[in-house]
Chains A and B, each alone.
Chain A
Amino acid sequence: MSASPQALAGIGVVEFGSYAAGPHVGKMLANFGATVIHVESFARPDGFRMQYPPYKDRKPGINGGGCFAYFNDSKLGITLDLKNPQGVSLARKLCKWGDIVIENMRPGVIARLGLGFDALRTDHPGLIMLSTCNMGQTGPRADTPGFGSQLTALAGICGLTGERGGLPTLLYGPYIDFIASTLGAVAVLAALEQRRRTGAGAHIDISQYEAGLMFLAGPLLDYHLTGRIAERAGNDDPDAAPHGAYRCEGDGWIALSCWSDEEFEALAAAIGRPEWACDAPYATLADRKIAADKIDAGISAWTREREAAAAAEILQRAGVHAHPVNTMADLFTDPQLVARRHWHRRHHAVIGEHAYCGPAFLLSETPGEVTAAAPLLGADNDKVFREILGLSEPDYAAMREAGAFA
């Protein structure tokens, strides 16, 4: 833990979210000190707990899921049955305590549960609510359910991945959900700043589809202006040559690129092909595009005799853009990520000690932190309902008796 209070200390977040798009917002806020309460129920636990591997000992179990854990560290986990009137009344109390409510249900569902923005803000005018779903809260296809992996195709990103003339390509997992969660965090934090100054809350409607399009804003404007339709082009880039991935010794690969004639000369010298530098056939970008096959063969001959990390070191010293293609395993030993403490190992009661992902940015005065492993289902009911909401023991027992925590 850091000595100074964290940036978002004192901010309360209630998350009626599951899978990726809601919970990842909460994780980002929790890593900077917000108190984030992840709401599930025993009848409907977060789908990431049981539907996606990896699992402890490869056996699906409600508390042994590595996928759920990855997005829910540093949070409190509670259960509330939102089909039970007592459960809903406690949920309303919780929302009144919170500064921010996050939900990623289908449009209209949270309102039907009695927890919509209009219902909640009657006794909480400063409430900030983030509603995030596939298509947004409105429009002719607002009610479309869907998976983020497939939405990534609708948003154009799969079509822009793959070899020229080949099939579109999948990106891993619900790629677009994480664009939406990051942009959702931006909107929620902007709303907090507004509330500090004016006291006003806000209801934020994020369409995961639209969020994803922000990452293609340039090609979309290009289409509107010129009619040009961007296409997948393998690893090519119009402004660089060479520009690609090359096989190295063993199973490794290296990505490298040259963005000027000088950089190509430096590459040529570094890989023992000084004759390329003064060879007319390779003098300009256009020349190098034409001769791409020959240049690629020359580079590959050099990289195949070296480990990717060693090759990247040599090329970077020569002033050439280069980096090994990290595998998932490499991410845990990459010297840069290790030096910046990107992974935080924490003890989880079922999974044991395992790694959580730290924030993508370091703050010099109020650093982020992974404060705890992900919660077991309902692990923090006592703490949240007794300590935070202040229920008396008899009231808490009566609620349990009524099935509010089922």
Chain B
Amino acid sequence: MLEGILVLDCTGRLGWLAGRLLADMGAEVTKIESPGAEIHTSDWRALNINKRLTRLDLEEGAGQRELDRLAASADVLLATFTPGTREAAFFHHGRLCAINPRLIVVAITPFGLTGPKAGWIASDLEIMAASGAMSLAGEPEGTPLRVSAPQSHGWAGAQAAVGALTALAARSRTGRGQCVDVSAQAATLIALSHAPAFVDVDGTTPTRAGAFMTGRSVKGARFRVFWPCRDGFVNFILYGGVAGRRTNVQLAAWMRECGAPLGALAQIDFAKWDPTLATQGQVDLLETPIAAFFSSVTKRQFLEEAHRREMLGYPVSTVEDIATDPQLAARGFWQDVAAADKIERHCGCFAIVDGERPPLVSRNDAQVEAPRAAEVT
């Protein structure tokens, strides 16, 4: 849908996803990398597929002049840098818009271009801390945690793509580009859902809850969320409400069919059971036979049976489980792309448009050229 939109992608890890998303939507994205930059990591390859690679040394006058030449005819320039540095001056919107007033300059930085922390340095860990996300993950009395696979890059890159396209909409009316100043801290804050609203509306501060769910029962009971199963873990919660009741009834039926001991589940009437009034003793009695049953099923069995019975709950997938999930295969999510010496299986375009998933394109090409390191075009 973005055919003909030219994007210059001068980002580091913090911004890679932005150009990938725009490329998935059809933009022609040129990834600029310095001559020695490493492009063989899985992260680089996964998030720079669908882009064309050009090697430019932006420390040198010749490289800078070439980038300015490319910027003169581009629609969007994506860049990551630390505000206040020489690099920041080079990517300054004022300087670039003198070359091309229609250019949209998207600056993706940890804290944004303005404010007292604009010059602070931050990796994924510090951005997750600054956004509040770490304060919500981990055991209640334990260390605040980040997700082991960096997430703040995703949040920043995705918001940068939204920003670039919002500015493109404005340009269609004004004819002028502008600066899109993305704060990774603010972008990652979106991950918190409505947790900040508690501070403001009822004066409480949500914090991390670990592997249990608390705060649902007025008697203080906590409910198990993650359960060991035969080959890993499943995510299942004894909910109330219509969907919860159906789930609980179906689980008991599944256990009965398998001949599993029902324990306290045999007597309970889920139509009348209210988790908000449950004591810890009651919850423990219900959870004991469930725990024993789950320890005998596999993740895939749980996934299929929960779907068949319209139960709430999912297995805790590893990347291997995801790679072999039939739902993703049926939707053509995986796309095989030829690299120089192998086939790479990538996450395909993030959306299906008019019934088809836009194919990833081997564009002459980052993927084909990439294994020949340090090639300068």
Cβ-based interface call for B77 (8 A) = no
Query: Which of the residues B121, B131, B315 comes within 8 Å of A153, measured between beta carbons?
Result: B315
Nearest residue, chain A, Cβ from B331 = A139
B316: chain A residues at CB < 8 Å are: 153-154, 158-159, 168
Cβ-based interface call for A89 (8 A) = no
Query: Which of the residues A140, A171, A215 comes within 8 Å of B137, measured between beta carbons?
Result: A171
Q: Are B129 and A224 in contact, with the CB atoms below 8 A?
A: no
Q: Are A327 and B205 in contact, with the CB atoms below 8 A?
A: yes
Q: Are B1 and A354 in contact, with the CB atoms below 8 A?
A: no
Query: Which of the residues B42, B143, B213 comes within 8 Å of A225, measured between beta carbons?
Result: B42
On whether A255 and B319 interact (CB within 8 A), knowing A150-B312, A167-B211, A203-B353, the answer reads no
Cβ-based interface call for A364 (8 A) = yes
Q: Are B313 and A329 in contact, with the CB atoms below 8 A?
A: no
Question: Whole-angstrom distance from the CB of A274 to the nearest CB of chain B?
Answer: 22
Question: Whole-angstrom distance from the CB of A292 to the nearest CB of chain B?
Answer: 13
Q: Are A167 and B233 in contact, with the CB atoms below 8 A?
A: yes
Question: Using a CB-CB cutoff of 8 Å, which residues 187-207 of chain A contact chain B?
Answer: 187, 189-194, 196-197, 202-207
Question: Using a CB-CB cutoff of 8 Å, which residues 116-164 of chain A contact chain B?
Answer: 135-141, 144-147, 150-151, 153-163
Nearest residue, chain B, Cβ from A144 = B307
CA distance A84 to B162 in the complex (A): 36
Nearest residue, chain B, Cβ from A233 = B148
How many chain A residues touch B (Cβ–Cβ < 8 Å)?
A: 148
Cβ-based interface call for A330 (8 A) = yes
A219: chain B residues at CB < 8 Å are: 42, 149, 319
Question: Whole-angstrom distance from the CB of A145 to the nearest CB of chain B?
Answer: 7
CA distance A340 to B30 in the complex (A): 31
Cβ-based interface call for A270 (8 A) = no
Q: Are A335 and B115 in contact, with the CB atoms below 8 A?
A: yes
Q: Mark B303-324, 1 if CB is under 8 A from A, else 0.
A: 1000100101111111111110
Q: Mark B269-293, 1 if CB is under 8 A from A, else 0.
A: 0000000000000000000000000
Q: Are B138 and A169 in contact, with the CB atoms below 8 A?
A: yes
Q: Mark A360-385, 1 if CB is under 8 A from B, else 0.
A: 11111110000000000000000000
Query: Which of the residues A244, A319, A361 comes within 8 Å of B183, measured between beta carbons?
Result: A361
On whether A140 and B125 interact (CB within 8 A), knowing A146-B312, A221-B45, the answer reads no
Give the size category of B's interface with A. Answer: 35 or more
CA distance A165 to B104 in the complex (A): 46
Q: Are A218 and B46 in contact, with the CB atoms below 8 A?
A: yes
On whether A154 and B315 interact (CB within 8 A), knowing A220-B322, A329-B199, the answer reads yes
A171: chain B residues at CB < 8 Å are: 133, 136-137, 147, 191
Looking at the complex, which of B59-67, B170-178, B259-267 is the stretch in contact with chain A?
B170-178
Q: Are B180 and A66 in contact, with the CB atoms below 8 A?
A: no
Cβ-based interface call for B193 (8 A) = yes
B78: chain A residues at CB < 8 Å are: none
Q: Are A170 and B225 in contact, with the CB atoms below 8 A?
A: yes
Q: Are A169 and B121 in contact, with the CB atoms below 8 A?
A: no
A351: chain B residues at CB < 8 Å are: 201
B303: chain A residues at CB < 8 Å are: 154
Q: Are B166 and A182 in contact, with the CB atoms below 8 A?
A: no
Q: Are B350 and A214 in contact, with the CB atoms below 8 A?
A: yes
B166: chain A residues at CB < 8 Å are: 7-8, 32, 189, 363
CA distance A69 to B172 in the complex (A): 32
Question: Whole-angstrom distance from the CB of B222 to the nearest CB of chain A?
Answer: 12
Cβ-based interface call for A307 (8 A) = no
Q: Are A55 and B202 in contact, with the CB atoms below 8 A?
A: yes
CA distance A141 to B327 in the complex (A): 6
Cβ-based interface call for B210 (8 A) = yes
Cβ-based interface call for B31 (8 A) = no
Q: Are A194 and B1 in contact, with the CB atoms below 8 A?
A: yes
Q: Are A222 and B145 in contact, with the CB atoms below 8 A?
A: no
B132: chain A residues at CB < 8 Å are: 326-328, 330-331
Question: Whole-angstrom distance from the CB of A63 to the nearest CB of chain B?
Answer: 13
Looking at the complex, which of A75-83, A235-243, A391-399 is the stretch in contact with chain B?
A235-243
Q: Are A66 and B326 in contact, with the CB atoms below 8 A?
A: no
CA distance A241 to B199 in the complex (A): 34
Question: Using a CB-CB cutoff of 8 Å, which residues 73-105 of chain B contact chain A?
Answer: 93
B205: chain A residues at CB < 8 Å are: 327-329
Is the contact region of chain A dominated by helix, strand, or loop, or is it mixed?
A: mixed
A359: chain B residues at CB < 8 Å are: 186
Cβ-based interface call for A232 (8 A) = yes
Cβ-based interface call for A323 (8 A) = yes
Question: Whole-angstrom distance from the CB of B185 to the nearest CB of chain A?
Answer: 7
Query: Which of the residues A194, A244, A337, A355 comes within 8 Å of B185, measured between beta carbons?
Result: A337
Q: Are B352 and A204 in contact, with the CB atoms below 8 A?
A: yes
Q: Are A169 and B196 in contact, with the CB atoms below 8 A?
A: no
Cβ-based interface call for A16 (8 A) = no
Which of B124, B207, B351 has most chain A Cβ within 10 Å? Answer: B351
B334: chain A residues at CB < 8 Å are: 224
Cβ-based interface call for A223 (8 A) = yes
Looking at the complex, which of A38-46, A173-181, A281-289 is the stretch in contact with chain B?
A173-181
Cβ-based interface call for B158 (8 A) = yes
Cβ-based interface call for A405 (8 A) = no
CA distance A260 to B305 in the complex (A): 49
Cβ-based interface call for A88 (8 A) = no
Query: Which of the residues A204, A229, A231, A363 comes within 8 Å of B351, measured between beta carbons?
Result: A204
Q: Are A365 and B174 in contact, with the CB atoms below 8 A?
A: yes
Q: Are B116 and A336 in contact, with the CB atoms below 8 A?
A: yes
Query: Which of the residues B185, B193, B211 comes within 8 Å of A172, measured between beta carbons?
Result: B193
On whether A159 and B116 interact (CB within 8 A), knowing A67-B194, A223-B323, A363-B178, the answer reads no
Cβ-based interface call for B15 (8 A) = no
Question: Whole-angstrom distance from the CB of A100 to the nearest CB of chain B?
Answer: 12
Q: Are A327 and B135 in contact, with the CB atoms below 8 A?
A: yes
Cβ-based interface call for A62 (8 A) = no
Cβ-based interface call for B243 (8 A) = yes
CA distance A230 to B200 in the complex (A): 38
Cβ-based interface call for A185 (8 A) = yes
Cβ-based interface call for A114 (8 A) = no
Question: Whole-angstrom distance from the CB of A336 to the nearest CB of chain B?
Answer: 4
Cβ-based interface call for B151 (8 A) = yes
B312: chain A residues at CB < 8 Å are: 145-147, 150
CA distance A332 to B191 in the complex (A): 16
Question: Whole-angstrom distance from the CB of A6 to the nearest CB of chain B?
Answer: 8
Top 4 closest A-B pairs, CB basis?
A: A173-B193, A218-B43, A66-B201, A189-B165
> Residues of B at under 8 Å CB distance from A?
1-5, 17, 20-22, 25-26, 41-43, 45-47, 93, 111-118, 120-138, 142-149, 151, 154-155, 158-163, 165-170, 172-174, 176, 178-183, 185-187, 189-202, 204-207, 209-211, 213, 225-226, 232-233, 235, 237, 243, 303, 307, 310, 312-323, 326-328, 330-331, 333-334, 342, 344-347, 350-355
Given A7-B167, A224-B323, 6 more A-B residue pairs with CB atoms under 8 Å apart are: A146-B312, A182-B155, A209-B328, A221-B45, A328-B195, A337-B185
26 inter-chain pairs at a CB distance below 8 angstroms, sorted by A residue, are A24-B190, A66-B194, A66-B200, A70-B196, A155-B322, A168-B316, A170-B210, A182-B190, A189-B168, A193-B168, A194-B3, A218-B42, A221-B347, A229-B319, A253-B135, A321-B121, A322-B126, A324-B129, A328-B195, A328-B207, A331-B132, A335-B117, A336-B130, A363-B166, A363-B167, A364-B181
